[in-house]
């Protein structure tokens, strides 16, 4: 007698939607690399943004 387990846990998807959006192209930004006091590079899109521009708080 088979037992069906349809319960699935989604890990990561919820976090993906919580990433701040790039101010230039709207891509969810996972990494911000500060290259200069007045400049940072968003990843994975690669746009140059202002440091702190993506604060999602």
Binding residues for Zn ion, per CB under 5 A?
Answer: 22, 24-25, 27, 45, 47
Contacts 24+ apart (CB under 8 A), 11-16: none
Alpha-carbon torsion 55, 52, 46, 43, what sign?
A: negative
In the complex, minimum distance from the CB of residue 45 to Zn ion, in angstroms, rounded to a whole number? 3
Closer to Zn ion by CB, 22 or 32: give it: 22
In the complex, minimum distance from the CB of residue 7 to Zn ion, in angstroms, rounded to a whole number? 36
Closer to Zn ion by CB, 11 or 45: give it: 45
Pick from 6, 29, 9: nearest CA to 17? 29
């Amino acid at each position: 007698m088979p037992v069906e387990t349809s319960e699935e846990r989604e890990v990561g998807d919820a976090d993906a939607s919580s990433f701040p959006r790039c101010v230039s192209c709207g891509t969810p930004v996972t990494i911000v690399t500060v290259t200069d006091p007045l400049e940072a590079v968003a990843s994975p899109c690669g746009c140059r943004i202002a440091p702190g521009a993506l604060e999602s708080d």
